A and B are shown apart, each in its own frame.
Chain A
Amino acid sequence: MASYYSSDKNLDLEFQGKGGQLFEIQLANWVLTFVTFGIYYPWAKANQLRYTYGKTKLAGSPFTFHGTGKEMFLGYIKALVLVVAFYAALMYAVFAQDLVLVSYIYLAAFLAIVLLVPVALHGRMRYRMSRTSWRGIHFGYRGSLKELSLAFYRDVFFTIITLGFYRAWLEVNLRQYMMRHLRMGNIQFRFDGTGGELFMIHLKGMILSGLTFGIYLFWYIRDLHLFYMNNTLLEQNGNLIRLDSTVSGLGYARLILGNLLLVFFTLGLGTPWATVRSLRFIINNTDLLGDFNPDSLLQTEEEYKDAVFEDVSDMMDLGWV
């Protein structure tokens, strides 16, 4: 593998955000979201992303988030309609004591979620990447919704008939597909992890976490983190560049326990500091390994305007992909 990387030059990824600054942004966000009964949420999200992107630097230059609340608002409303429709139906069925109807609603919701996952992922990738740039060069996602959906439905089927064992492969297939179609200008991405490796990580993680009464969970999370980060490759003008993350289980333990205390004892007011701690931990522990040339990226993407699924994916809690 070492021959892939023609030099040992390291390029730092850095997060320079400050808890106090993010707190200032978030406080305004909270207040406005609260007094507008949630309508401000997409704008709040844009404010936060603009800050965290702007404070993330590669080779000294920050990333930029170009998205706006206005763009994401429509998606937010659509997601809201879906959620409200689900709960209205559920409430109706529950109060009518119609347990058959309740189970039908759950089934319908489950099917809708399965059907919507690829749509939401695709939409989010398209939008989020098109709104992300570095030195004026935009990211872009060029996957096809049809391909992604078919592969996802096929994998869900396999996961169900294997009683969940296939889930690791499902996750990796999704990741590989999305990475393969992700670009940062003329840089192409790739994901080299395999379902087998992920399966072993899950297996080891679950067994050891069980045996150690959960203490191993931090190392389990670390293994997942390293698996996803360190198998990510960038290809620039024929050179391969690898993400190189060096987080430790102990580091994760400190991060997670610290954040819990931070959020808990401040009744949530400390959340921005916890967010900054997490981003620092993840980003500052990641380098680019290889011959990355920060000056030779070329713009390749067209303008894209569709934020409909940005928030659908949010509500569906798709953080796991």
Chain B
Amino acid sequence: MGVATSHMTEFAGTYYDGQSSRGLPVQVVVEPGGLALHFAAPEEEPDIPPVFWPALQIRPHAYRERDKTVLQFGEFPFQSLEVHSPTFADIIKQAYPTAVFHKNALPAPKGGMPVLLLLGVAFLGLMVACYVYLLPAIADLIAQKIPQAAEERMGQQFYKQFVSEDEVDSARTVLANQFLRQLEVDTTYPLHVTVVESETVNAFALPGGHMVVYSGLLDKLQSPEEFAALLGHEAAHIQERHSMRSLARNLSHYLFLSIVFNDISGISAVVLENADKLKSLEYSRNLEQEADKLGFSLLKANKLDPAGMQHLFQRLQSEDKDTGSLPSLLSTHPLTDERIQHLKELMKQQPYATAPAPDLEKLWEKLEKN
């Protein structure tokens, strides 16, 4: 390739010298090694000597759009050249194939192509997929990596704050903990139950080992098996770090959305709100089912009648019907029938012989009387 030396390639352009906003008409000559700019002789002013721009020092600085090419040259303040020609851009590209300005010259956006829209929709789909699948997985991973000691410390703080606001039934708390000790629980956490005086039919687990049972729920229970099932369920939430995992998930979702919507300042409110939500944290259906499964394992390990769990579910369900308010144990799962169904399947898959547990019975009697 190369430039034909026999006839020069010339273009008309407008030159800005970087000192003034006045554009000067120029003849642009594509010479080997660079562009020569010849100024049209002005009538009253003295002639302006031609300018030579070595191709290797030319920088692109504006859009090439349709027929227009804008080139920039020199140190600050930059000189610039505007050429309107359908062929200019290609001709200088061929003439100076090694010049840098081709490499990062931005092409003029064409726009409006259906392919682009398709890509856009695909990208949107990808984002949604990330939000739905990838994000929870990452959040889970992070939550699992938090050291148990840190989790326990954190739970302890929450617990302290919590009991300072509520009335603890200390007699029943002692009994409930004795009951818990009698159970064989597969856990690495130091478990502890607190019975709180309240009408609320609820129980929840804090990260790190604390479980809280409201007297409103405890009064509804009729057998030690039911109480054991409840403790098993809550202990599973603790062992499987469901609080941390749910918190991490919620936070990651908010974080993702606020970054996408460029609303960084909105995050802090969310952080605070989530920390407060620990009490009424809603676990996903999968996490609830996991807790049910482990709760069943606890009953099995202690040879307790799994029907206790079924009764627990039914009590919560009837409570739901009585008051119309959702006990939070069930709030994400109005489908108690589904849970009972799941339990029945577990019972079928893992049948075991039950055995009497006199110690538990005794403790339960005391708990009921109190």
Contacts and interface: CB of A to CB of B under 8 A. Distances in A.
Contacts of A269: 117, 120-121, 124
Contact of A24 (B61, B116, B124, B158): B116
Given A31-B123, A94-B275, A50 B22 contact: no
B107 to A, nearest CB: 10
B215 interface: no
A303 B181 CA distance: 76
Given A54-B62, A62-B62, A315-B264, A91 B271 contact: yes
B154 to A, nearest CB: 5
B50 interface: no
B120 A20 contact: no
Interface in B136-183: 154, 157-158, 160-161
Interface residues on A, range: 35 or more
Interface string B27-58: 00000000000000000000000000000000
Given A136-B80, A268-B124, A299-B20, A87 B267 contact: yes
Contacts of A51: 63, 109
A51 B23 CA distance: 22
A158 B233 CA distance: 58
Given A21-B111, A269-B121, A64 B20 contact: no
Interface stretch (B71-79, B305-313, B325-333): B71-79
Interface in A1-59: 18-25, 27, 30-31, 34, 38, 47, 50-51, 54
Interface in A91-117: 91, 94-98, 102
B154 A96 contact: yes
Contacts of A297: 20-21
B4 interface: no
A136 B119 contact: no
A215 interface: no
Given A25-B109, A62-B62, A268-B124, A134 B21 contact: yes
B17 A136 contact: yes
Nearest to A304: B76
Given A64-B61, A269-B120, A97 B157 contact: yes
Interface in B309-363: none
A210 interface: no
A159 to B, nearest CB: 19
Contacts of B19: 298-299
B124 A136 contact: no
Contacts of B5: none
Contact of B265 (A94, A296, A301, A317): A317
Contact of B158 (A22, A97, A268): A97
Contacts of A47: 106
A256 interface: no
B30 to A, nearest CB: 22
A23 B111 CA distance: 7
A185 B21 CA distance: 9
B189 interface: no
Interface string A263-280: 000011100000000000
Contact of B21 (A19, A34, A296): A296
A137 interface: yes
Contacts of A315: 264
A294 interface: yes
Given A21-B109, A90-B271, A102-B272, A136 B123 contact: no
A24 B117 CA distance: 9
Interface in B274-292: 275
B164 to A, nearest CB: 11
A146 B79 CA distance: 34
Nearest to B121: A269
A66 interface: yes
B62 A64 contact: yes
Contacts of A200: none
A23 B120 contact: yes
Q: Residue among A22, A23, A96, A136 with the most chain B CB within 10 A?
A: A136
Interface centre among A24, A34, A302 (most CB of B within 10 A): A24
A122 interface: no
Contacts of B77: 136-138, 299, 301, 303
A147 interface: no
A136 B79 contact: yes
Nearest to B146: A95
B264 A83 contact: yes
Contacts of A303: 76-77
Nearest to B244: A95
A86 B265 CA distance: 11
A102 B112 CA distance: 49
A95 B275 contact: yes
B11 interface: no
Contacts of A295: 20-23
B35 to A, nearest CB: 17
Interface in A111-140: 134-138
B18 A24 contact: no
Contacts of B62: 54, 62, 64
A302 B75 CA distance: 11
B269 to A, nearest CB: 10
B259 interface: yes
B369 interface: no
Interface centre among B21, B124, B271, B272 (most CB of A within 10 A): B21
Interface string B97-132: 000000000100111110011011101101100000
Given A27-B120, A136-B80, 5 more contacts: A47-B106, A90-B268, A137-B77, A269-B121, A299-B20
21 contacts: A18-B111, A21-B110, A21-B111, A24-B109, A54-B63, A54-B65, A94-B272, A97-B158, A97-B161, A102-B272, A136-B77, A269-B120, A269-B121, A269-B124, A295-B20, A295-B22, A296-B21, A298-B19, A298-B20, A299-B18, A303-B76
Top 9 closest pairs, chain A to chain B, by CB: A20-B111, A297-B21, A20-B112, A21-B109, A21-B111, A136-B16, A303-B76, A97-B157, A135-B21
